Homo-oligomer: A and B are copies of this chain.
Amino acid sequence: MYRFKPVLRIPGPVPVPNEVSLQMAKPMINHRGAVFKEHYPAVLKRLAPLFGTQNQIHMITGSGTSGMEAAVSNLVSPETPVLCLRGGFFGNRWVELCQAYGAKLHVLEFPWDGGIDAGQVGEYLKQHPEIELIFMVQNESSTAVLNDVASVSQARGSHRALLVVDAVSALGGTPLKMDEWGVDVIVSASQKCLMAPPGTAFIAFSDRAREYSADCRASRYYFDLRLYDKYMEKSETPFTPNIHNVFALEEALNIIETEGLDNVFARHILMRDMMRAGARALGLELLVKDEDASPTVTAIKYPEADSFRARIRTRYGVEFAGGQGIHADKIFRVGHMGYATPLDVLTALAVLEMDMKKYGEATKAAEQVMNS
């Protein structure tokens, strides 16, 4: 059954719409030629509303982590005092990256089942005026927590620290207002809510971040933002890009723009609420409280979750994600981001209720949410 029609319900890479996938099969073009120079800036312009920014967005050929390293390698010199807000696996990735670049590391720890407390961040910054950079994750997909970026940004008050945000599993699934919120760097990637294949990261720097990065002493070349800025003058990338991801993103943006960004966000909220209502109806315990819950992924506690996931995959062809870090084998995660609908959530719940022999109980609860 699995091989016949597998259902991918993980927090990325997400299922790619056929019309987007087919863009990947278009004929090859010259990445220094007229066609690329037309499509590349056009797609970046269409991404701007999702970032909520007037800042230049760059595409980096690489995984989401390559975008994160682009942020760190353009900002963190040896001994730069940085503050990482760690509440999950990807918050920890910022820590590891900053360590790799020799930062003077401050880490504020948050429980791996809830959001970042902006008040605590504000207090810490008051005690540490020397902090130059703050690193956080908007949607911590490892715990299924949505952090409040606006509040963290505001908690800085008059503190000069730049705010760097990993929006990899958030961008296009939940509001992001880089300029309005005063965020200095945003990193994201193609394979989550943007519904395109993996292989492309995005990065946007504010003017303040760009000025700050001019003094950065970290070794960098492939991730050197100055090269990306320079080549952008001729609508090119410094290194041969993943050309077809540009075409794929154009098609994905057609879909997103047709639905309308507000409707996209509302759909994600609805999927979250349905998933949570259904899980609760089955007596399953959610990892995260309602107020911190991610709109793009839901984490559910489950003893020996990995063998459970294998059973669901084998029996029903539905693939859930496992836990990461301290949650390994203790939770499973259901992705409902990008090319996913409320009906897909019903399917995800259906296999849970069948496995538990609680026929119809979860779908009933979720359907009531959908119809309310």
Q: Is the CB of A66 within 8 A of B6?
A: no
Complex interface: stretch among A27-35, A50-58, A110-118, A284-292 = A27-35
User: What residues on B are CB-neighbors of A341 within 8 Å?
Assistant: none
User: What residues on B are CB-neighbors of A73 within 8 Å?
Assistant: 219
- What separation, in Å, do the CA atoms of A29 and B240 have in the docked complex? 25
A218 at the binding interface (Cβ < 8 Å) = yes
Total interface residues in chain A, CB < 8 Å? 55
Complex interface: stretch among A17-25, A40-48, A261-269 = A17-25
User: What residues on B are CB-neighbors of A30 within 8 Å?
Assistant: 8, 10, 13, 319, 321
Q: Is the CB of A69 within 8 A of B221?
A: yes
Q: Within the complex, what minimum Cβ distance (angstroms) separates A258 from chain B?
A: 21
A199 at the binding interface (Cβ < 8 Å) = yes
- What separation, in Å, do the CA atoms of A66 and B31 have in the docked complex? 17
Chain A positions within 8 Å of B, measured between CB atoms, are 6, 8, 10, 12-16, 18, 21-22, 24-31, 33, 61-66, 69, 72-73, 96-97, 100-102, 189, 191, 197-199, 218-222, 224, 238-245, 319, 321
User: What residues on B are CB-neighbors of A13 within 8 Å?
Assistant: 28-31, 240, 243
10 tightest Cβ-Cβ pairs between the two chains A and B: A24-B24, A199-B242, A63-B239, A21-B25, A100-B221, A65-B239, A25-B25, A69-B222, A101-B219, A198-B240
Q: Within the complex, what minimum Cβ distance (angstroms) separates A196 from chain B?
A: 10
Residue among A14, A18, A25, A66 facing the most chain B CB atoms (10 A cut-off) = A25
CB-contact partner of A62 in B14, B31, B61, B220, under 8 A: B61
Q: Is the CB of A242 within 8 A of B242?
A: yes
Q: Is the CB of A319 within 8 A of B242?
A: no
User: What residues on B are CB-neighbors of A16 within 8 Å?
Assistant: 27-28
How many copies of this chain does the complex contain? 2
In the complex, besides A13-B31, A24-B25, 7 extra interface pairs with C-beta distance below 8 angstroms are A13-B28, A33-B319, A61-B62, A61-B199, A63-B239, A65-B240, A69-B221
Q: Within the complex, what minimum Cβ distance (angstroms) separates A206 from chain B?
A: 23
- What separation, in Å, do the CA atoms of A22 and B73 have in the docked complex? 36
User: What residues on B are CB-neighbors of A198 within 8 Å?
Assistant: 31, 61, 240-243
With A97-B221, A100-B221, A218-B219 known as contacts, the answer to whether A240 contacts B63 (CB < 8 A) is yes
Q: Within the complex, what minimum Cβ distance (angstroms) separates A354 from chain B?
A: 21
- What separation, in Å, do the CA atoms of A27 and B24 have in the docked complex? 12
Q: Within the complex, what minimum Cβ distance (angstroms) separates A64 from chain B?
A: 6
User: What residues on B are CB-neighbors of A199 within 8 Å?
Assistant: 61, 199, 241-242, 245
Q: Is the CB of A221 within 8 A of B29?
A: no
Q: Is the CB of A65 within 8 A of B222?
A: yes
- What separation, in Å, do the CA atoms of A8 and B243 have in the docked complex? 14
With A24-B25, A198-B242, A242-B198 known as contacts, the answer to whether A222 contacts B96 (CB < 8 A) is no
User: What residues on B are CB-neighbors of A101 within 8 Å?
Assistant: 219, 221
Nearest-neighbor residue (CB-CB) of A200 within chain B = B199
Nearest-neighbor residue (CB-CB) of A196 within chain B = B28
Q: Is the CB of A29 within 8 A of B6?
A: yes
Nearest-neighbor residue (CB-CB) of A192 within chain B = B240
User: What residues on B are CB-neighbors of A189 within 8 Å?
Assistant: 240
